Amino acid sequence: MDLHTTYMGLKLKHPIVASASPLSESVDNIKRMEDAGAAAVVMFSLFEEQLRHESAALEHLMESGTESFAESISYFPEIDSYHVGPDRYLDILRRACEAVDIPVIGSLNGITSEGWVDCAKQMQQAGAKGIELNIYYIPAGLDVSGRNVEQRYVDVLKAVKAAVSIPVALKLSPFFSAIGEMAKQLDDAGADALVLFNRFYQPDFDLDKLEVAPTLHLSTPDEIRLPLLWIAILRGRIKASLGATRGVHSATEVVKYLMAGADAVMTTSALLKHGIGFLTTLVDELQAWMERKGYVSIEQMKGSMSQQNVADPSAFERANYIKILESYKNPYML
């Protein structure tokens, strides 16, 4: 059975990848991921704010408005919260690349190209086999247009692509009015892969402390629906590889993503919940399912349930929407 897949130009022994998480802050953990069967590891993210944390711009951002509303300062992290700076990050990346044989992918998280170009070059020099750009941007300004938001993504991608020779993936938000057109823009701009989708974390309020309370809940399998839809739509219609992330807690989600058309399937929450060794379970379960169903390769499965042969995906999705609503049976009606 051939489990190999190609993702962002990298030949992987199978499609299951450990996505960016605190687990990769340790070289020992990255070695454990390789031993457990990970096909590749995406490093934890280096934040743009870490690249410029000495700058007056960040200090101004943190202080802006807090004279009037002291509670709002809790929206911003203390400088010391960034416990792994750029030098430390690059040292971990370099040692990890030397310690393992699987691809290690660097991760940059931010909203502008400031500082990213030099750091991307340094990641390549440290041995990273690719870079994942995580543009975590919520346009809260009322004067920011949708097209300006889209152009920000394209500009960051182009700047990094021009600076390095290794492949570059972009972790895409689902909050665009036309995701397909946005994916095409990024594909035309040279993205080697699109990762669908970024999770946006909304804060809560602590009414006793009058602070913003950061809350993070691990994903659930139900979250695969949105990326599953768009991977199925984009499969075969853009050149970039497709990475699936969100809700992977068993081989069931892995298989669904592959059949939709994903080239790689990423997981974090399952590893945080069950431990790094759960990677072995995912790979074994994937292979067992393929054997039961008579599949001999990942390529045979990949995209088999995508919409690449549907003439009008919009009409197809509209029909499916109506079918779902019409199929619901109200338990309170006789």
End-to-end C-alpha distance for the chain, whole angstroms: 51
pLDDT digits (tens, 9 = 90+) for 196-231: 998 776 678 888 888 877 776 787 888 999 999 999
Q: What is the CATH number of the domain that holds 268?
A: 3.20.20.70
- pTM (2 d.p.): 0.84
The answer to the question of residue 320 being in a domain is no
The two tokens of residue 290 are 């393929």
The answer to the question of residue 99 being in a domain is yes
The answer to the question of residue 18 being in a domain is yes
The answer to the question of residue 328 being in a domain is no
pLDDT digits (tens, 9 = 90+) for 66-102: 444 444 444 444 545 445 678 899 999 999 999 999 9
The answer to the question of residue 51 being in a domain is yes
The answer to the question of residue 87 being in a domain is yes
The answer to the question of residue 314 being in a domain is no
- The better pLDDT of the pair 302, 320 is held by 302
Q: Give the range among 82-96, 114-128, 245-259, 309-323 with minimum mean pLDDT.
A: 309-323
Provide the residue range defining the domain that includes 269: 5-306
Band the pLDDT of 330: cuts 50, 70, 90: low
| Per-residue pLDDT at 175 | 87
User: 254: helix, coil or strand?
Assistant: helix
The answer to the question of residue 318 being in a domain is no
| Per-residue pLDDT at 71 | 46
* CB-based contacts of 40, cutoff 8 Å, min separation 6: 7, 10, 12, 17, 18, 102, 103, 104, 105, 129, 264
| Per-residue pLDDT at 116 | 77
Number of domain units in the chain: 1
Q: Residue 152 pLDDT > 60, yes or no?
A: yes
What are the DSSP E strand ranges found in the chain? 5-7, 10-12, 16-18, 41-42, 46-47, 104-110, 130-135, 168-172, 193-196, 204-206, 211-213, 241-245, 264-267
| Per-residue pLDDT at 57 | 43
